[in-house]
Amino acid sequence: MNPPSFEIFNQTDENIPFSGDQLRRLIALVQEYEKRNFLHVEVVFVDDSDILEMNRRYLGHDYVTDIITFPYHENDDPVEGTLFCCAPQIRRQSEELDVAFDTEVLRIVIHGLLHLVGYDDETDSQRSHMHSLENKYITLYLDY
pLDDT tens track, the chain, 144 positions: 568 999 999 999 999 999 999 999 999 999 999 999 999 999 999 999 999 999 999 999 999 999 999 999 998 899 999 999 999 999 999 999 999 999 999 999 999 999 999 999 999 999 999 999 999 999 999 987
pTM (two decimals): 0.96
CB-count burial class (<10 Å; 0-12, 13-18, 19+) for 81: buried
Mark 2-18 as b/e (b = at least 16 C-beta within 10 Å): eebebebeeebebebeb
> Rounded distance, CA 121 to CA 131, Å?
9
DSSP codes, 64-125? --SEEEEE---TTSPEEEEEEEEHHHHHHHHHHHT--HHHHHHHHHHHHHHHHTT---SSHH
Q: What is the pLDDT of residue 17?
A: 94
Q: What is the pLDDT of residue 1?
A: 59
Q: What is the pLDDT of residue 86?
A: 98
Is the domain spanning 5-143 CATH 3.40.390.30? The answer is yes
Q: What is the pLDDT of residue 78?
A: 95
Q: What is the pLDDT of residue 144?
A: 72
> Rounded distance, CA 71 to CA 49, Å?
22
